[in-house]
Amino acid sequence: MHDARFSPTATRLPNGKVLVAGGSGTGSNLASAELYDPRTGRWALTGSMHDGRSAATAALLPNGKVLVAGGLGDTGILASAELYNPRTGRWSVTGSMHDARSHAVASLLPTGKVLVAGGGNNDVGALASAELYNPRTGTWHTTGSMHSARSGGTATLLLNGKVLAAGGSGPLSSAELYNPARF
């Protein structure tokens, strides 16, 4: 990589390349992003985000763009979100989440919406709240909260369309299911 980075996002693009964005560098949170090409084994710089951020969450959208949301910024925990367009290599600002959060998880749902759940913020610590991003409107809507507050856990879309949220700070040994059909 061109920049040393701790806690960036990494997203496989439809063309097979991997977008690595943000992370913590030497003394600040990075806005820079890079593309890894597995065919050549080489890295190339691409457009930079508007906000430097580490410990953000990311999801590949059905239209091929990448949503990066939340994270730690140089001024605190972020609610902002950005979209990366792999065709142009540019970032654009999209709607902000209701809750600022870092170390959250993101899952693309079969509906095309993105579930972002948990994470943490300075006000309450680990969060149980969850939000849905609608890529058609660029807006966020709150959805059902998890039973347990989870920061740094995992989320996996299951074949039945539900999302399995597991683990997290504490550490937690519990897991729970999010059913998008309920919301």
The answer to whether residue 148 scores a pLDDT higher than 80 is: yes
How far is residue 122 from each of residues 75, 127, 172, measured CA to CA in Å?
12, 10, 20
Name the β-bridge partners of 10. 20
Q: What is the pLDDT of residues 27-62, one digit of tens each?
A: 899 999 999 999 999 999 999 999 999 999 999 999
Count Cα neighbours of 18 within 13 Å in the Cβ-side half-sphere.
Answer: 13
Band of pLDDT at residue 182, cut at 50, 70 and 90: confident
What whole-number distance in Å separates Cα of residue 10 and Cα of residue 19? 6
Give the distance between the most distant pair of CA atoms in the chain: 45
The answer to whether residue 183 scores a pLDDT higher than 90 is: no
Average pLDDT of span 132-160 = 97
Say what the pTM is: 0.96
How far is residue 141 from each of residues 11, 113, 132, measured CA to CA in Å?
23, 10, 5
Count Cα neighbours of 74 within 13 Å in the Cβ-side half-sphere.
Answer: 11
Q: What is the pLDDT of residues 96-121, one digit of tens each?
A: 999 999 999 999 999 999 999 999 99
